[in-house]
Amino acid sequence: MKRISAGTVRGALDGRGVTVVLDGVEGDKGRAAFGLLAEGGRYVTIGAASREQFRPDEAELKEGGVTFTDALARLLEGLDRPTDEARALTAAADGTLVPAFQTFPLSQAATAHAALEARATTGKVVLVPDAHG
């Protein structure tokens, strides 16, 4: 996956800002993406792959007329966790809910890692012991 710098984005937009940032990384990259927003833009977080949270402060939002939404938090707001967890476990047990995962033999851990980096996987990736034959 080719990485594009904030400067490249600004150049491609002839100095204009972007109207929406969908940020799944946060951290330093989230801050850089936030800096690309035009006045009145929207910054939406959809995860934190960097494991570093970035939240613009109220002054930054007000200064640019920018709105901020933590989409994952909003999604989780309405959940009744104990009830929903019990329903999910029941559905998994009866086969109506099937988790998405891919397995790789442990000896192919490097291949699994490369697939993750290339975003060529679906669901979780599980390394399993090599079959002895």
pLDDT of 107 reads 95
State yes or no: pLDDT of 1 exceeds 60: no
What mean pLDDT is predicted for residues 85-114? 93
Judged on CB neighbours under 10 Å (0-12, 13-18, 19+), 65 is exposed
Give dist(CA 38, CA 70) in Å, integer: 19
Q: Who contacts 33 (Cβ-Cβ below 8 Å, separation ≥6)?
A: 6, 21, 23, 25, 43
What separation in angstroms does the CA of 20 have from each of 23, 49, 56?
9, 19, 14
State yes or no: pLDDT of 99 exceeds 90: no
The three-class DSSP label of residue 55 is coil
pLDDT of 91 reads 95
- 121 with 102: CB under 8 angstroms? yes
